[in-house]
Amino acid sequence: MTHPAPTGDRTPETGTAHPDAHEARVVAVVVTYNRETLLQECLDGLAAQERPADAVVIIDNASTDASGAVAESHPLAADVVHLRRNVGGAGGFAAGIARALVRHEADWVWVMDDDTVPRPGALSALLDTLAASPARLSVLSSRAVWTDGRDHPMNTQRTRFGVSARERRDAAEAGGRPIRTASYVSALLNGQDVRRLGLPYADYFIWSDDFEHTGRLLRRGRGLQVPASVVEHRTAAFGNAQSGPGGRFYYDVRNRLWALLRTTSFSPLERVLHGGSTAVGWLRLLLRHRGGLLGVGLRGLLAALRRGPRPSDVVLAADGEAAADVRTIERAAGR
């Protein structure tokens, strides 16, 4: 399904598209699964924000450790949702974003993983850029670094291909860089656009849900990476998702093919470009692992060809309240 582009890039009275950015209602959404220590650090980072979020939603993906207790007891007094089963990051974000929009009336939704630790100025820097932008924005993304301060290779975002000179000027004026997709390690999503275009697919489980969803939001919208907004992505090792995927390679293959072949989030040219670079990356990975991942990748390929992702409310059916929130947003978006 295609959707009309947002209109009204500028507000005549101010010359900016988001004059009330700092007064907007921002709801943070954190998805967690069995990472009680990292979750504590993430929530401490949210509590230390110079401009705090107006509300925090935590989706506990049926954790078996103390993550749920950490979420409930933290001074942030978050809205904690304990799911009955683990639906992965994709299902957690679908449920969390829907809850932020339906039950907390979010203008903007700030999504992040439980191993993300935002530095104190992370949110205020995103809102500063939003306020300074002469163009309407759909997605803003933070700069993700590892624990030693190096840019994290798992969260690198390329400058948008074919961006116009005007878009570059607008981005520079706002203090950002034009991007085509964003990582959910830390991304600020325009609630109006999510209501219009829908939620991430819960059925992706892990990987590429943010690639497809922000690709959908940014096919006709504008997005910026904001270098002044810094978060630490505290992964166990420094590397990208391809370093040692193991059985998760199934999701990498299936979900990337779903995103490129079964959605309208990318133009035909973008499908070719992303598909080509993805195929080269997979080939290198298979060679590096001496074919050990070939069977896993083939299962992912067959799954992608067999069917597309199920409706997200079906994936979340075991949790009726979450499924109802998702259904509310998806129906409004005509999905």
pLDDT in tens, 208-267: 999 999 999 999 999 999 999 999 999 988 766 656 688 899 999 999 999 999 999 999
pTM for this prediction: 0.92
pLDDT at 14: 36
Q: Is pLDDT at 3 greater than 60 in this prediction?
A: no
pLDDT at 182: 96
* Banded pLDDT at 202 (limits 50, 70, 90): very high
pLDDT in tens, 51-97: 999 999 999 999 999 999 999 999 999 999 999 999 999 999 999 99
Q: Is pLDDT at 7 greater than 50 in this prediction?
A: no
φ, ψ dihedrals at 16, nearest 5°: -120, 160
Q: How many CB atoms within 10 Å of residue 95? A: 30
Q: How many CB atoms within 10 Å of residue 265? A: 20
Instruction: Supply 101's token pair.
Output: 């929009």
pLDDT at 138: 98
Q: Is pLDDT at 50 greater than 70 in this prediction?
A: yes
Collapsed DSSP state (helix, strand, coil) of residue 1? coil
Q: In the chain, how many H helices and how many E strands?
A: 12, 9
Q: Is pLDDT at 43 greater than 90 in this prediction?
A: yes
Q: Is pLDDT at 16 greater than 70 in this prediction?
A: no
Averaged pLDDT of the chain: 92
pLDDT at 244: 67
Among 237, 241, 187, 224, CA closest to 31: 187
DSSP state of 159: B
Instruction: Supply 42's token pair.
Output: 């993430």
What is the mean predicted confidence (pLDDT) over 284-313? 92
d(CA 139, CA 215): 10
Q: Is pLDDT at 1 greater than 90 in this prediction?
A: no
What is the mean predicted confidence (pLDDT) over 287-295? 85
Q: Which class is domain 21-240+308-332?
A: alpha beta
CB 250, CB 282: distance < 8 Å: no
pLDDT at 243: 62
**% of the chain residues with pLDDT over 90:** 83
- As a 3-state breakdown, the chain gives helix, strand, coil percent values, each rounded to 5, of 45, 15, 40
CB 19, CB 11: distance < 8 Å: yes
